Structure 1
Amino acid sequence: MTGPTIGNLRVNGAILRYEVRGHGPLLLLIPGGSGGAASFDGIADDLAAEYTVATYDPRGLSRSPLDDPAAEQTVAEHADDALRIVDLLSPGEPARVFGTSSGAIAALHLLTVRPERLERVVAHEPPVVEVLPDVLEHRALLARVGETLRTQGLMPAMAVFAAGLRKGGDTPGPPAQVALPPQAAARAERTMADLPYFVGRIVPAFMSYVPDVDRLEALSERLVLACGQDSRGELPYRPAAFLAERLGAELRHFPGGHTGLTTHPAEFGELLRKAFRA
């Protein structure tokens, strides 16, 4: 199979690098905050047999530079970036959109503000912690992460953040030995380079976002909420489960945990295909 077509799109305050594969209705894949278009390498080609698959590096990440590297980030602006790609690649027809983690938050916001441009949205573990009844604990976590980043640096802040995402803030045991596909292992260096921006800009902006739950309820027939089957009890799982119950919707379970897209790409891609057909 030939490689993707690569383009650059000028948006407000940034240039987005995007990739396009395949033919058919547009399927836009929005990555999480510490990943870029490459995080979809394991599923994009297979999905391109059925869709025009567009992936991109969100503003400030990887190969999508900001005009002002110090610019504050907002969910609304990231969602507008996704809309610009939809308008570019599918001007006459609504698109299907998949987002994971912070990308799922951008997808939720886009659904609430421009539903006519979206056929269906699959949101995988959007960490919209503001909907949770124990939100004060999660606000305190974000404050600790920010303070640790300022006073101790990146890796201590990441440790605080990671501990807060575990089941009940569990003390971590030995790291799980997961054999990543070669492409995923090769992305590690770029992911590490993006971590300061992710922890310092994306995490505080996105995890303080308050979704319009009433609007999502009105649009629930276009929304699929999904979680990792191994994520139960962890913080990224809980908002999607809460929203599914509030909206009276089925909560779909995908293989793996929060990064199941990377650890189980074949099974993940097949379930994603089914979610858009249903």
Structure 2
Amino acid sequence: MRSDVLAVPGARIYYEVQGSGPLLLVLQGGEGDAERTKGLVGRLVGEHTVVTYDRRGLSRSSPDDPDAPLTVETHADDVHRLLAALTSEPALLLGSSYGGLVGLVLAARHPGQVRTLVAHEPPALSLLPEAARAGADATFGELEKTYREEGWAAAFKMLAEVTGAGFADREPDVELPAPLSKQRIANMHFFFTHDIPAARHCELDVPAIAALKGTATRVVPAAGGTTAPGFFDHLCATELARLLGTEVATFPGGHNGLTSHPRAFAARLREVLAIRGVRRPGRP
């Protein structure tokens, strides 16, 4: 594994690269940084060059001005620049939750950089019918309010309840998460004060996403098999599938299936990406 830092407008982005084969960029959800999905990445590096990174404002990716306004489009531009620094070919992307929204904005703006995007339960609220969007926006507002008035522990608990994420259902060898470190608590602060507001106000270019249907840029809506169908991120995946005229790809676990079921999730990802059909450089 090698790590590096990429200078982008207004920030420095930390990233890690490991493995060999076609490039696969993992866009983490929530306050997750480059190390969030170690179990999953470890099962993919034999067939892929896997790139993970700290989203702007998290862990080792420091913005020049931590209080500057932030948008999902800014995150997508960071990914655009990171991919441009790493490859001239369209890449494979796995976007989880917030990362899925970032991936959709990237695909709409720079479709030539995306070969396949698996968008796993992205909070793309602009895809939702009016009533469902209002409900999702109200939930985000409550999360922000809970954080301001009661602190990170209460907000984190509410977030887990809203998403249904947990580790009661997990693969046998998956350990329970360690207690939150100071760094992760700092990441929580940035997520609740910057990223959630950015998601609430993100207006996805829906016509641009719809125009990807039938092109070389493939978008795969995905959702956890145990995620509640009424959870707004699951609804977003359903609406994305409707927009693209396809079906939602079901993955093991729930909203956090990447970390609770890394072995099964990796196997399902191979199926969806059709890894066996991807020719590695230098191979016939």
For the superposition of Structure 1 and Structure 2, which TM-score range results when normalised by the shorter chain? 0.7 to 0.9
Pick the aligned partner of 2:68 from 63, 68, 71: 71
Query: Residue 139 of structure 1 corresponds to which residue in structure 2?
Result: 137
Query: Residue 202 of structure 1 corresponds to which residue in structure 2?
Result: 195
TM-score w.r.t. structure 1 length?
0.87
| Distance change in 2, residues 1:45/1:17 (3 Å) | same
* Contact 2:169/2:253 (8 A) holds in 1: no
Q: Does 1:27 align with 2:24?
A: yes
| Distance change in 2, residues 1:242/1:205 (3 Å) | same
In 1, Cα distance between the equivalents of 2:85 and 2:189?
30
Query: Residue 56 of structure 2 corresponds to which residue in structure 1?
Result: 59
Query: Residue 172 of structure 1 corresponds to which residue in structure 2?
Result: none
Quote the offset at 1:160 in angstroms.
4.6
TM-score w.r.t. structure 2 length?
0.85
Query: Residue 97 of structure 1 corresponds to which residue in structure 2?
Result: 93
Q: Does 1:111 align with 2:111?
A: no
Quote the offset at 1:123 in angstroms.
0.6
Quote the offset at 1:165 in angstroms.
4.4
* 249-258 or 145-154, larger mean C-alpha shift: 145-154
Corresponding letter in the other structure for 2:95: G
In 2, Cα distance between the equivalents of 1:116 and 1:219?
11
Quote the offset at 1:236 in angstroms.
1.8
Quote the offset at 1:184 in angstroms.
6.4
Corresponding residue SS for 2:17 = strand
What's the CA shift string for 1:74-105, capped at 9, x where partnerless?
11110111111111110x21111111011110
Quote the offset at 1:156 in angstroms.
3.4
Query: Residue 146 of structure 2 corresponds to which residue in structure 1?
Result: 148
What's the CA shift string for 1:207-237, capped at 9, x where partnerless?
3322222221211341111000010322221
| Distance change in 2, residues 1:256/1:164 (3 Å) | closer
In 2, Cα distance between the equivalents of 1:273 and 1:119?
14
Corresponding letter in the other structure for 2:195: I
In 1, Cα distance between the equivalents of 2:179 and 2:212?
36
In 2, Cα distance between the equivalents of 1:265 and 1:64?
25
In 1, Cα distance between the equivalents of 2:155 and 2:40?
31
Pick the aligned partner of 1:48 from 45, 48, 51: 45
Q: What is the aligned length?
A: 267
Corresponding residue SS for 2:31 = coil
Q: Percent identity?
A: 37
In 1, Cα distance between the equivalents of 2:35 and 2:202?
26
Q: Does 1:193 align with 2:215?
A: no
In 1, Cα distance between the equivalents of 2:142 and 2:37?
31
Structure 2 regions of 5+ residues with no counterpart? 278-284
Corresponding residue SS for 1:98 = strand
Q: Specify which structure has the higher proportion of helix.
A: 1
Structure 1 regions of 5+ residues with no counterpart? 167-174
| Distance change in 2, residues 1:42/1:158 (3 Å) | closer
What's the CA shift string for 1:170-199, capped at 9, x where partnerless?
xxxxx8635686676248424333111111
Quote the offset at 1:158 in angstroms.
3.8
In 2, Cα distance between the equivalents of 1:113 and 1:227?
23
* Contact 1:27/1:97 (8 A) holds in 2: yes
Pick the aligned partner of 1:261 from 258, 262, 267: 258
Quote the offset at 1:48 in angstroms.
1.9
Q: CA RMSD in A?
A: 2.3
